[in-house]
Structure 1
Amino acid sequence: MAGHSQFKNIMHRKGKQDAVRSKLFSKLAREITVAAKLGLPDPNMNPRLRAAVFAARAENMPKDNIERAIRKAVGGEGENYDEIRYEGYGPGGVAVIVEAMTDNRNRTASDVRSYFTKSGGNLAETGAVSFMFDRVGLVEFDAKVASADDMLEAAIEAGADDVASSEDGHEVYCDQGSLNEVAKALEARFGEPRKARLVWKPQNTVSVDDETGEKLLRLMETLEEHDDVQNVYANFEISDALMAKMSA
């Protein structure tokens, strides 16, 4: 399992304190507002907004918060955010991609660079590591909605390219241009997914020792906690022992 997925699972198992949940809701609302500004304010007519609403619902974000974020876009309220992608190398030379939305490019770049440096890594030029990832659509479901075979069959029929099923759930990958169609087809069969969005999927992953793994997980956690950072991806794998330790 790739580092990003492992990291997300660890954070999920730890649970979310109120402060963390509040920050998460703020990031989700920002994505909803930006998505609604860039397209139509109707999730059924705007694939990016639809994905943002899916993500918000999956985190139990109140319906009022979601509707308020969409109204901000319709009313032209709120700040204007720049979408930026940072690329770099973490401990052990692991490739890391950071997606951010910011109203202050200098502040965000300075903060992200310092996080990489403190972890023993370094920030690189855009394009330095993204060639090691594929930009794809991801639709996630809870494990209980279907067996691995049923999900694979439905995903193939929907036009998806790959499925990864585990006790944590089903991850359905597709071409980025067909995300909306694949998500709708699977939703019709299994109900609303817990997530549907574009991601950076590593073409290959590298195994790291536990010491390096801990440093990488701390770096990713620090990045995720930054107000401007929306998503973090990396191409490493950690041992089951370290995953159990970090999840405790």
Structure 2
Amino acid sequence: MAGHSKFKNIMHRKGAQDKKRSGMFSKLSREITVAAKMGLPDPDMNPRLRAAVNAAKAQSMPKDNIQRSIDKASKGDAENYEEIRYEAFGPGGVSLIVETLTDNRNRTVTNVRTAISKNGGNLGAPGSVSHAFDRMGLINYAAKVGDAEKVFEAALEAGAEDVTSSEDGHEIWTAQGDLHEVAKALEPVLGEAEGAKLAWKPQTMVAVDEGDAATLFKLLDALDDDDDVQTVWGNYEIADDVMEKLG
């Protein structure tokens, strides 16, 4: 399990949770609703729903909000959301994959295209970017669950494929079909994960300089402000000194 260069999606950018908590709760509720509608409304019997509920708990989403989203789905009162993926090229030659849940695809594609084009990027055709990423499972744990060696050993025993640990936490990567099995095996050792979902892992990273990084963050913020956008994955790599300058 060799370590990989770190990358982050907009949901994990420093400070984003605090500044946009209400918007985050909306996105989490939408994922819970979709997961509950696709399977049983019981987290113990529905791996995707369990992962969505755990992610909501990790962000301190009130239990009543979580249960309300599940109840709406089970009673058929929830909106019908469609999962749509967009692929794009951003500033500095980076590649981006934008995952959305929407009840109006025309609105969503217009908003996504506008956010990207106004911030140094352009929307690509399906497949133009995703070929440079691997579809894998990603399990996130907070740094407090243990040191890198403890997490590495637990992940190895559970059947994971790769682990990246830092002061921000632990990223445990699995084969696409092994996500929920590995997540379940980790719980007795590390507890409930902060998140467990299918992810896009870049095969190579692109170093971004200060100028392009500033524009890239504006693009990511614009996407993050869109309620339909759930997650953005990218192959960008930004040096620590550049991150410090940009705040």
TM-score (norm 2): 0.94
Question: 1 CA distance for matches of 2:198 and 2:189?
Answer: 21
Question: 1 CA distance for matches of 2:17 and 2:233?
Answer: 20
Q: Give the Å deviation of 1:144.
A: 2.0
Residues 1:118 and 1:133: Cα distance change in structure 2 (over 3 Å): same
Q: Give the Å deviation of 1:52.
A: 0.5
Amino acid at match of 1:197: K
Q: State the Cα deviation string for residues 139-193 of structure 1 (Å, max 9, x = none).
A: 1111121121111111011000000011111111001211111111111111111
Instruction: Name which of structure 1's ranges 184-193 and 229-238 shifts more when overlaid on structure 2.
Output: 184-193
In structure 1, runs of 5+ residues without a counterpart are none
Residues 1:15 and 1:198: Cα distance change in structure 2 (over 3 Å): closer
What is aligned with 2:14? 11
Alignment of 1:192-207 (within 5 A): 192-207=192-207
What is aligned with 1:86? 86
What is aligned with 2:105? 105
SS in 1 for 2:8: helix
What is aligned with 1:152? 152
SS in 2 for 1:40: coil
Amino acid at match of 1:176: Q
Alignment of 1:1-248 (within 5 A): 1-5=5-9, 7-12=10-15, 16-17=18-19, 20-247=20-247
Question: 1 CA distance for matches of 2:42 and 2:78?
Answer: 18
Amino acid at match of 2:89: Y
Amino acid at match of 2:132: M
SS in 1 for 2:153: helix
More helix by share: 1
Residues 1:212 and 1:237: Cα distance change in structure 2 (over 3 Å): same
Amino acid at match of 2:14: M
RMSD of aligned residue pairs (Cα, Å): 1.4
Question: 2 CA distance for matches of 1:154 and 1:104?
Answer: 42
Question: 1 CA distance for matches of 2:42 and 2:106?
Answer: 33
Question: 1 CA distance for matches of 2:41 and 2:244?
Answer: 42
Is the contact between residue 6 and residue 164 of structure 2 (CA under 8 Å) also seen in structure 1?
A: no
- The count of residues paired between Structure 1 and Structure 2 equals 243
Runs of 4+ in 1 over 6 A off after TM superposition: none
SS in 2 for 1:16: helix
Amino acid at match of 1:16: D
Question: 2 CA distance for matches of 1:142 and 1:25?
Answer: 19
Residues 1:15 and 1:109: Cα distance change in structure 2 (over 3 Å): closer
SS in 1 for 2:118: helix
Identity %: 56
Q: Give the Å deviation of 1:58.
A: 0.6
Q: Give the Å deviation of 1:8.
A: 4.6
Amino acid at match of 2:70: I
Q: Give the Å deviation of 1:66.
A: 0.6
Residues 1:2 and 1:64: Cα distance change in structure 2 (over 3 Å): same
Question: 2 CA distance for matches of 1:93 and 1:148?
Answer: 32
TM-score (norm 1): 0.94
Question: 2 CA distance for matches of 1:74 and 1:187?
Answer: 27
Is the contact between residue 2 and residue 202 of structure 1 (CA under 8 Å) also seen in structure 2?
A: no
Q: State the Cα deviation string for residues 28-85 of structure 1 (Å, max 9, x = none).
A: 0010011000111111111111111111011000111111100011100121111100
